[in-house]
């Protein structure tokens, strides 16, 4: 793990005039004169040790990753190590020294998520297409081993001959033994106790512990009952009892098909990610395949939805915008109110105002849901003296309630930020404006707000994006209700885009990760574009 | 951090402060200048605290529920609080604190370093990186857990410590978000520190590291504390990623534990849940109280003037 | 020179790091080897079992017993009940899922569709289990797990308020009203409805959610459309107008009302028994009276253990579910802990508790459908019922027909 402390230790730059050991004391020397000595300053040593540790971890990681053939990790580690060493040993890469640690974490944990989501968007990953093709084949094989009807349960003895596992059972009173290649045949000289074979000459009898060790091999072993394959095979699942199984479906690796042994129907692997017969019957499960843009087009296919879809989009924007505006102005107002040092008990006020933020969001959503219950909620029953206001029942009222709760949740964040950001506004600027005769409102509009916006505007945009995708609140508070009456998908008046996606991709008929990923990306494009435009509008980028 | 903040002498000047009135302030003027502030404060606090009182009341009631327990404090019993500890609450609290503390310190250091680079250096790709940082935040994290889980299990054979069911693994995931919105907050604040200060120091022979640590960082303490606090709070309350990463209940954080209680559709122990939520909020409140003096230290204005 | 220092340091650190890491990984690895006990167990190794919060305690206890017996450590992992299935489906393909998942049978369809579990051969033990539990665990002709408990909702009566119960729901509501309690009957709902708790009423109108085949399994043909469904929808509207059903009454409020004696009757499941006992309510458990003329059949949920298709420990996992979990002492132990009727008849026969028997007697032959099509039903079903009850949907028959149409469309879509 690369250490965040890395940035904290910096060697003196040789191209700067500076003294490695003195702390900016004003002594100036010729840089070339003592370049050599500086390399061994304490900062330099600490840096060397830290980068050395990172390198050691990285090299270890490369070795370990090569060992398990995780080539992507190897490539990334080589790249990251090169980057780290370049950043910290190059004299020119000063900004990189400060950016590299954060960027590496960002690359690993954020960009990977985006790329992976992008990849999923082009697959049919979801219920029924959950894993790889080989997993699907083995799952179909596992699921289609049907015990031959009326066949007995054999107490089985697992035996070993050389490297070949075999089964020994008592069949019709006689001991028989066989392996995967050798069908069951009478075992000469075998010892039988009750219904179980206890010893077979030429074979080693495995104990249950040995069987458990070889779990995979034993459960995969199928011993033919006779030369005729149609008689089925002897298999065991628990190492103690074996049954005769006849697979209904047989897989042929050469043709990549399953054949039903009873009906003769052939199921061929399709490029849609499942085995399908000529009549269109599919085998479960399928597997994950690329499906191109079909997840993206899927969204626009359902024309019944377009009216509701438009409503959801409008509400999503309104919700995100209003949430930011209300929380910001409330937070800013309170920050200014309590920025006056003469207000007694400011500390207590501030601590109490932050309280709503101290609860995890979902806790607050659950509490408010209970408090806004139309018949028994605290708000109606106690605060409003037994009113019967259906806070989440009426579309407009529900929207109001959602915003109310989100205000409660969100304004402390804005309050903290504004309180912090207000500290960057020099007191003398506002003071002199006031002396020039500007009223408090004018000081606020002409000086405080613009100065505040410099550091706060990007946060407002980020907050907009957060609320745009504020799934937890909507889902936990009222699940998007009240529902549109008779809508073809379960969607409600307060559903925002992301919760709408959730109910389409995960709410009806299983999980469809491919679709969810595709919609995520579309949402990202829309929000990203808007944010970028908003960013330009606030001129923040211009000032960069 | 502690050492650097103590190095710098503090100015007593507070932004927007005026000379204190030596004569006793008359009541009318007090109302006009300060009284209304208290009124606003009290009203807002009622809005803030009512739901929390409701939770507190439910937590003191052994059969507390979140719907319709409207006779506040009709029953007072510590039964829920007593029962918490046998459910692993102590472990969760410890894990939460560890994860949140480490994450917030890491976030502050990495964020401040990045903000310093953006604010003080002009390099190729700077604008692009800044815009990129902003845009990354816009990505809907609906499928993040699927991707993160996959990533972590692939790390299992390479860096077991960063894999699933490990606190360092979770912290690393959270640090992936260290450069993000926080960087902008820091960046904006760094920009308000006059460059003349760096220049002067540079002429005096300070290196970029010395400027960063001994000049800039002390001046931006308020925003460092704000970012640390925000990071602490959001890490502390995060449960969606946490419950994917941490599999055994002894490694859980408070948020996962509370979520698990609430997700029991049939027998959710709401009384326990409420008690847990109340206790979970305490560290945040204490932290806010304690950190306030750093947030509102007024250091910047004093230093800028000097 | 600089490089050489770095190299030396790096190599030194590598060796150190390698040593640290290798010793660390062997200690924290998944293969928790069991401590040797005096009983000299036969096996080593471990099984990972996922359970939700409702069963975590008893499975930890079973884990200790199983280790005592066999030497295999049971690594019991608690997952939130809301996430356990989706997490399993997500994690199983990576090979990092558990060996065994414990959940209710209605997950089977989804788990099989995703190829995440494997069939279990109960062999001759099949007949040791109750009919409903085996049919619930049968899907596509195979048994996919080992059941251990059955649960369903029933009518629960406060004996202080009423001592006899009429045989129709309408009469019951009348009786309840004459008692002048705050409610005559509570059935938990919520803003998004609760079709599970209304299902006994619905079946009494002859409108099962899906049609049942002769062997008790479900086809994916919707059974609640047409006349029977319309009658039930109209009945819901009537109960909604009478305020017998109310979307404001959620599970917390419903339980609360019964424990406080505000209602003589509640339709609920065994999970609330503890709360009722704790509140010292004298209560009986009875079958739900018919509302529409036919038998009221609640859904039966059958709990059991399923083996991952990708387990590396198939032998031990099978041993655990088919030999250990299916044994009478263990099923009895699970009963003692969970108070649900055991699936194993030998254990079920020993149950004498009138409450458990009451719930068992209230069960019909309606296991909750486990077919994947059921996933398409819940949301529409609940929403529509809530809209009828709350009066948002003025015409119950029309709302019901729209719901059927939407469910059918969702089923068709998920079939591809």
**For the ranges A252-256, A305-309, B136-140, C300-304, which has the lowest average pLDDT?**
A305-309
Express each pLDDT in B49-87 by its tens digit.
Answer: 888 888 899 899 887 788 777 788 888 888 889 989 988
Partner-chain contact C399 A485, CB within 8 Å: yes
C86 falls within a domain: yes
Q: How far apart are CA A479 and CA A371, in angstroms?
A: 16
Separation in Å, CA of A409 to nearest CA in chain B:
9
Q: Residue A108 half-sphere exposure, CB side, CA atoms within 13 Å?
A: 28
Q: Could you tell me the pLDDT band of residue A520, with boundaries at 50, 70 and 90?
A: confident
Residue predicted with more confidence, C375 or A424: C375
DSSP C287: P
| A243 in C contact zone (CB under 8 Å) | yes
pLDDT at A242 over 50: yes
Q: Could you tell me which of C123, C124, C89, C121 has the C-alpha nearest to residue C103?
A: C89
Partners of A275 on chain C (C-beta within 8 Å) are none
Tell me what pLDDT residue A539 has: 58
pLDDT at C68 over 60: yes
User: Which helix (H) or strand (E) is C154 found in, with range?
Assistant: strand C154-158
Say yes or no: C143 and C225 in one domain: no
Q: How distant, in Å, are the alpha carbons of A223, A242, A249, A267, C412 from that of A245?
A: 10, 9, 12, 21, 34
Tell me what pLDDT residue C263 has: 95
- 3 state DSSP class of A225: coil
pLDDT at C341 over 60: yes
Tell me what pLDDT residue B7 has: 33
CB B278 within 8 A of CB B254: no
Average pLDDT estimate for B135-147: 84
Q: Could you tell me the pLDDT band of residue A21, with boundaries at 50, 70 and 90?
A: very low
Residue predicted with more confidence, B22 or A373: A373
pLDDT at A15 over 70: no
Q: Could you tell me which of C205, C190, C177 has the C-alpha nearest to residue C396?
A: C205
Tell me what pLDDT residue A11 has: 38
Partners of A30 on chain B (C-beta within 8 Å) are none
Residue predicted with more confidence, C72 or B17: C72
Q: Can you name the CATH fold of A129-144+256-292?
A: MalF N-terminal region-like (3.10.650)
Written as one string, the DSSP assignment of A296-320 is: HHHHHH-GGGHHHHHHHHHHHHHHH
Tell me what pLDDT residue C61 has: 94
DSSP C290: B
Angle between helix B89-120 and B270-295 (nearest 10): 30
Tell me what pLDDT residue A304 has: 66
Percent of chain A at pLDDT above 70? 90
Delimiting residues of CATH 3.10.650.10 domain(s) in chain A: 129-144+256-292
Partner-chain contact A108 B187, CB within 8 Å: no
Express each pLDDT in C146-204 by its tens digit.
Answer: 999 999 999 999 999 999 999 999 999 999 999 999 999 999 998 889 999 999 999 99
Nearest CA in chain A to C89: A130
Look-up: residue for tokens 């030429």?
A: A202
Express each pLDDT in B269-299 by its tens digit.
Answer: 888 999 999 999 888 888 888 887 777 654 4
CB C223 within 8 A of CB C297: no
Partner-chain contact B45 A341, CB within 8 Å: no
A160's tokens = 């070993």
Say yes or no: C263 and C324 in one domain: no
For B176, the closest of A18, A106, A419 (CB atoms) is A106
Tell me what pLDDT residue A13 has: 38
Partner-chain contact B173 A109, CB within 8 Å: yes
Say yes or no: C394 and C255 in one domain: yes
Q: How far apart are CA A477 and CA A458, in angstroms?
A: 28
Express each pLDDT in C77-131 by its tens digit.
Answer: 989 888 899 889 988 888 888 999 999 999 999 999 999 999 998 888 899 999 8
DSSP A13: P
| A270 in C contact zone (CB under 8 Å) | no
Say yes or no: C253 and C139 in one domain: no
Look-up: residue for tokens 């978000």?
A: B177
| C404 in A contact zone (CB under 8 Å) | no
Phi, psi of A478, deg, nearest 5: -145, 10
Say yes or no: C292 and C180 in one domain: yes
Vertex B194, ends B192 and B195: CA angle to 5°? 125
pLDDT at A246 over 90: no
Partners of C90 on chain B (C-beta within 8 Å) are 146, 149
Q: How far apart are CA B100 and CA B238, in angstroms?
A: 10
Neighbours of A385 (CB within 10 A): 7
Q: How far apart are CA C415 and CA C413, in angstroms?
A: 5
Q: How far apart are CA A441 and CA C288, in angstroms?
A: 68
**For the ranges A54-63, A440-449, C28-37, which has the lowest average pLDDT?**
C28-37
Average pLDDT estimate for B122-129: 87
| A208 in C contact zone (CB under 8 Å) | yes
Tell me what pLDDT residue B49 has: 87
Count of H-run helices and E-run strands, chain B: 17, 0
Express each pLDDT in C74-92 by its tens digit.
Answer: 999 989 888 899 889 988 8
Partner-chain contact A239 C319, CB within 8 Å: yes
Q: How far apart are CA B214 and CA B204, in angstroms?
A: 13
Tell me what pLDDT residue A12 has: 37
Separation in Å, CA of C114 to nearest CA in chain B:
16
**For the ranges A61-65, A535-539, B49-53, B128-132, which has the lowest average pLDDT?**
A535-539
Q: Which alpha helices (DSSP H) does C54-189 contain, by range?
A: 56-70, 84-91, 108-113, 131-137, 169-178
A44's tokens = 């330099």
| C119 in A contact zone (CB under 8 Å) | yes
A204's tokens = 């080693």
Residue A22 CB contacts under 8 Å (≥ 6 apart), including other chains: B205
Partner-chain contact B179 A103, CB within 8 Å: yes
Virtual CA dihedral for C130, C132, C138, C141, nearest 10 degrees?
90
pLDDT at C10 over 80: no
Percent of chain C at pLDDT above 90? 65
Beta bridge partners of A126: A129
Q: Could you tell me the pLDDT band of residue C228, with boundaries at 50, 70 and 90?
A: very high
C8 falls within a domain: no
Tell me what pLDDT residue C2 has: 34
pLDDT at A495 over 80: yes
| A35 in B contact zone (CB under 8 Å) | no
Partner-chain contact A219 C315, CB within 8 Å: yes
Say yes or no: C223 and C278 in one domain: yes
Q: Of the segments A182-186, A348-352, B300-304, which one has the largest average pLDDT value?
A: A182-186
For B114, the closest of A68, A98, A420 (CB atoms) is A98
**For the ranges A41-55, B108-122, C45-59, C91-105, which has the lowest average pLDDT?**
A41-55
Partners of A215 on chain C (C-beta within 8 Å) are 312-316
- Classify domain A149-247 by CATH architecture: Beta Barrel (2.40)
Domain boundaries, chain B: 21-77, 83-305
Say yes or no: C216 and C198 in one domain: yes
Residue predicted with more confidence, A331 or B25: A331
pLDDT at A540 over 70: no
> What rounded mean pLDDT belongs to chain A?
83
Average pLDDT estimate for C249-258: 91
Phi, psi of C393, deg, nearest 5: -95, 110
Beta bridge partners of C101: C50, C306
Tell me what pLDDT residue C416 has: 63
| A503 in C contact zone (CB under 8 Å) | yes
Q: Could you tell me which of A190, A213, A217 has the C-alpha nearest to residue A201?
A: A190
Average pLDDT estimate for C28-49: 54
Q: How far apart are CA A177 and CA A183, in angstroms?
A: 8
> What rounded mean pLDDT belongs to chain B?
82
Average pLDDT estimate for B164-174: 93
Q: Could you tell me the pLDDT band of residue A302, with boundaries at 50, 70 and 90?
A: low
Delimiting residues of CATH 1.10.3720.10 domain(s) in chain A: 303-543
Residue A240: Cβ-neighbour burial (10 angstroms; 0-12, 13-18, 19+) = buried
Beta-strand relationship, C73-79 and C46-52? parallel
Look-up: residue for tokens 């690895």?
A: C29
Q: What is the count of structural domains for chain C?
A: 2
Tell me what pLDDT residue A530 has: 83
Q: Which of A144, A490, A491 to mutate to test the interface with C (most CBs of C within 10 A)?
A: A490
Separation in Å, CA of C90 to nearest CA in chain A:
8
Tell me what pLDDT residue A543 has: 54
**For the ranges A40-49, A129-138, C236-245, C284-293, which has the lowest average pLDDT?**
A40-49
Domain A303-543 sits in which CATH superfamily?
A: MetI-like (1.10.3720.10)
Q: How far apart are CA C107 and CA C144, in angstroms?
A: 11
Tell me what pLDDT residue B187 has: 87
Partner-chain contact B260 C275, CB within 8 Å: no
Helix, strand, coil proportions of chain A in percent (round to 5)?
A: 55, 15, 35
Separation in Å, CA of A542 to nearest CA in chain C:
42
Q: Could you tell me which of C177, C188, C143, C181 has the C-alpha nearest to residue C160?
A: C181
CATH of the domain at C79: 3.40.190.10
A500's tokens = 């709408």
Partners of C416 on chain A (C-beta within 8 Å) are 272, 282
Average pLDDT estimate for A7-21: 37
Tell me what pLDDT residue A399 has: 95
Partner-chain contact A509 C373, CB within 8 Å: yes
Q: How far apart are CA C5 and CA A104, in angstroms?
A: 25
Residue predicted with more confidence, A534 or B124: B124
Express each pLDDT in A98-147 by its tens digit.
Answer: 999 999 999 999 988 899 999 999 999 988 888 899 899 988 888 888 88
Express each pLDDT in A363-422 by its tens digit.
Answer: 888 889 888 988 888 898 888 888 888 888 889 999 999 999 999 999 998 998 888 888
Express each pLDDT in C286-309 by its tens digit.
Answer: 999 999 999 999 999 999 999 999
For C54, the closest of B66, B249, B264 (CB atoms) is B264
A362's tokens = 């979902």
Residue A140 CB contacts under 8 Å (≥ 6 apart), including other chains: A249, A251, A258, A275, A283, A284, A285, C115
pLDDT at C41 over 60: no
Q: Can you name the CATH fold of B83-305?
A: MetI-like fold (1.10.3720)
Tell me what pLDDT residue C44 has: 78
Partner-chain contact A116 B150, CB within 8 Å: yes
Say yes or no: C177 and C124 in one domain: no
Written as one string, the DSSP assignment of B93-122 is: HHHHHHHHHHHHHHHHHHHHHHHHHHHH--
Tell me what pLDDT residue A17 has: 35
C27 falls within a domain: no
pLDDT at A78 over 60: yes
Q: Write out the residue range of the structural domain in which residue C233 sits.
A: 154-298+377-415
Q: Which of C1, C40, C120, C314 to mutate to test the interface with A (most CBs of A within 10 A)?
A: C314
């Amino acid at each position: 793990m690369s250490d965040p402390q890395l940035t904290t230790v910096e060697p003196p730059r040789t191209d700067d005039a500076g003294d490695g050991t003195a702390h900016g004391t004003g002594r100036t020397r010729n840089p070339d004169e003592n370049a050599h000595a500086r390399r061994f300053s304490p900062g330099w040593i600490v840096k060397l040790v830290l980068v050395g540790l990172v390198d050691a971890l990285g090299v270890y990681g490369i070795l370990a990753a090569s060992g398990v053939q995780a080539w992507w990790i190897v490539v990334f580690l080589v790249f990251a190590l090169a980057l780290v060493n370049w950043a910290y040993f190059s004299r020119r890469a000063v900004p990189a020294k400060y950016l590299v640690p954060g960027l590496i974490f960002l690359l690993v944990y954020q960009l990977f998520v985006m790329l992976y989501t992008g990849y999923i968007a082009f697959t049919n990953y979801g219920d029924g297409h959950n894993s790889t093709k080989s997993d699907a084949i083995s799952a179909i094989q596992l699921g289609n081993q049907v015990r031959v009807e009326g066949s007995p349960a054999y107490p089985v003895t697992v035996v070993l001959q050389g490297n070949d596992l075999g089964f020994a059972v008592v069949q019709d009173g006689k001991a028989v033994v066989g392996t995967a290649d050798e069908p069951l045949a009478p075992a000469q000289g075998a010892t039988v106790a009750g219904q179980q074979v206890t010893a077979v000459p030429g074979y080693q009898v495995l104990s249950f512990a040995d069987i458990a060790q070889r779990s995979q091999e034993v459960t995969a072993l199928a011993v033919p009952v006779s030369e005729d394959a149609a008689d089925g095979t002897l298999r065991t699942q628990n190492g103690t009892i074996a049954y005769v199984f006849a697979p209904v479906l047989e897989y042929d690796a050469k043709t990549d098909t399953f054949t039903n042994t009873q009906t003769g129907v052939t199921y061929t692997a399709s490029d849609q990610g499942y085995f399908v017969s000529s009549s269109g019957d599919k085998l479960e499960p399928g597997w994950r395949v690329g499906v191109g843009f079909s997840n993206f087009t899927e969204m626009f296919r359902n024309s019944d939805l377009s009216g509701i879809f438009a409503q959801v989009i409008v509400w999503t924007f309104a919700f995100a915008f209003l949430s930011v505006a209300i929380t910001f102005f409330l937070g800013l107002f309170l920050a200014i109110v309590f920025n006056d040092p003469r207000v007694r008990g400011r500390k207590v006020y501030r601590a109490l105002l932050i309280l709503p933020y101290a609860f995890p969001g979902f806790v607050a959503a659950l509490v408010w849901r209970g408090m806004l219950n139309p018949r028994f909620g605290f708000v109606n029953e106690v605060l409003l003296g037994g009113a019967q206001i259906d806070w989440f029942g009426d579309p407009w009222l529900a929207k109001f309630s959602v915003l109310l709760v989100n205000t409660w949740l969100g304004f402390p964040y804005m309050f903290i930020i504004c309180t912090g950001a207000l500290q960057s506004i020099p007191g003398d600027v506002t003071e002199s404006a006031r002396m020039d005769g500007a009223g408090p409102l004018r000081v606020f509009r002409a000086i405080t707000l613009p100065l505040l916006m410099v550091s706060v505007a990007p946060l407002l945009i980020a907050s907009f994006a957060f609320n745009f995708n504020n799934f937890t609140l909507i889902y936990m508070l009222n699940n998007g209700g009240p529902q549109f009456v008779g809508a073809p998908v379960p969607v409600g008046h307060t559903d925002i885009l992301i919760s709408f996606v959730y109910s389409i991709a995960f709410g009806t008929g299983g999980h469809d990760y491919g679709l969810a990923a595709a919609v995520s990306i579309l949402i990202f494009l829309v929000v990203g574009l808007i944010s970028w435009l908003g960013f330009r509008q606030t001129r923040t980028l211009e000032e960069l | 951090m502690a050492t650097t903040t103590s190095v710098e002498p503090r100015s007593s000047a507070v932004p927007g402060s005026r000379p204190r009135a030596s004569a006793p302030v008359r009541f009318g003027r007090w109302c006009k200048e300060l009284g209304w502030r208290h009124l606003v404060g009290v009203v807002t606090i009622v809005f803030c605290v009512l739901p929390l009182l409701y939770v507190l009341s439910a937590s003191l009631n052994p059969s507390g529920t979140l719907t319709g327990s409207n006779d506040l404090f009709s029953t007072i019993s510590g039964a829920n609080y007593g029962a918490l500890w046998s459910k692993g609450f102590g472990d969760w609290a410890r894990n939460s604190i560890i994860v949140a503390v480490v994450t917030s310190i890491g976030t502050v250091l990495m964020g401040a370093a990045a903000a310093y680079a953006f604010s003080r250096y002009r390099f190729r790709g700077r604008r692009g990186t800044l815009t990129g940082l902003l845009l990354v935040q816009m990505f809907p994290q609906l499928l993040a857990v699927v991707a993160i889980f996959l990533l972590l299990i692939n790390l299992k054979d390479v860096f077991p410590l960063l894999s699933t069911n490990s606190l360092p693994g979770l912290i690393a995931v959270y640090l992936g978000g260290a450069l993000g919105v926080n960087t902008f907050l820091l960046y904006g604040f760094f920009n308000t520190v006059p460059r003349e200060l760096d220049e002067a120091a540079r002429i005096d022979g300070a290196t970029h590291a010395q400027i960063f640590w001994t000049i800039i960082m002390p001046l931006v303490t308020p925003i460092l504390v704000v970012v640390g606090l925000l990071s602490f709070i959001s890490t502390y309350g995060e449960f969606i990623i946490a419950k994917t990463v941490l599999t055994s209940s002894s490694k859980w954080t408070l948020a996962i534990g509370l979520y698990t209680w609430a997700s029991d559709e049939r027998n959710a122990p709401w009384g326990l849940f409420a008690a847990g939520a109340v206790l979970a909020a305490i560290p945040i409140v204490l932290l806010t109280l304690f950190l306030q003096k750093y947030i509102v230290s007024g250091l910047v204005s004093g230093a800028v003037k000097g | 020179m600089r490089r050489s220092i770095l190299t030396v340091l790096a190599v030194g650190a590598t060796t150190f790091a390698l040593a640290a890491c290798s010793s660390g990984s062997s200690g924290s690895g998944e293969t928790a080897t069991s401590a040797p006990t005096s009983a000299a167990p036969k096996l080593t190794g471990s099984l990972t079992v996922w359970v939700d919060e409702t069963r975590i305690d008893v499975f930890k206890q079973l884990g200790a017993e199983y280790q005592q017996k066999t030497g295999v450590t049971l690594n019991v992992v608690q997952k939130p009940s809301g996430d356990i299935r989706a997490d399993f489906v997500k994690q199983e393909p990576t090979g990092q899922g558990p060996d065994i998942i414990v959940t209710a049978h209605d997950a089977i369809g989804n788990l099989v569709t995703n190829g995440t579990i494997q069939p279990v051969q109960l062999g001759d033990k099949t007949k040791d289990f109750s009919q409903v539990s085996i049919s619930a665990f049968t899907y596509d002709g195979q048994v996919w797990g080992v059941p251990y408990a059955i649960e369903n909702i029933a009518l629960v009566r406060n004996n202080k308020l009423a001592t006899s119960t009429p045989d129709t729901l309408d009469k019951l509501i009348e009786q309840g009203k004459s008692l002048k309690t705050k409610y005559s009957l509570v059935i938990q709902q919520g803003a998004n409805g609760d079709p599970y708790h209304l299902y006994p009423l619905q079946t009494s109108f002859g409108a099962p959610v899906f049609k049942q085949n002769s062997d008790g399994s479900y086809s994916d043909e919707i059974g609640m459309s047409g006349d029977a469904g319309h009658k039930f929808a109209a009945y819901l509207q009537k109960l909604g107008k009478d305020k017998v059903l109310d979307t404001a009454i959620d599970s917390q409020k419903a339980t609360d009302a019964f424990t406080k004696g505000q209602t003589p009757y509640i339709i609920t499941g065994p999970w609330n028994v503890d709360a009722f006992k704790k509140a010292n309510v004298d209560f009986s458990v009875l079958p739900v009276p018919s509302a529409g003329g036919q038998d009221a059949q609640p859904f039966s949920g059958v709990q059991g253990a399923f083996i991952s298709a990708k387990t590396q420990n198939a032998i031990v996992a099978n041993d655990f579910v088919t030999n250990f979990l299916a044994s009478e002492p263990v099923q009895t132990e699970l009963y003692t802990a969970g108070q649900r009727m055991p699936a194993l008849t030998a254990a079920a026969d020993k149950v004498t508790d009138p409450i458990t028997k009451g719930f068992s007697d209230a069960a019909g032959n309606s296991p909750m459908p486990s077919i994947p099509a059921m996933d398409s039903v819940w949301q529409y079903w609940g929403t529509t019922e809530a809209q009828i009850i709350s009066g948002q949907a003025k015409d119950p028959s029309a709302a019901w027909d729209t719901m059927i149409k939407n469910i059918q469309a969702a089923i068709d879509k998920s079939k591809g």
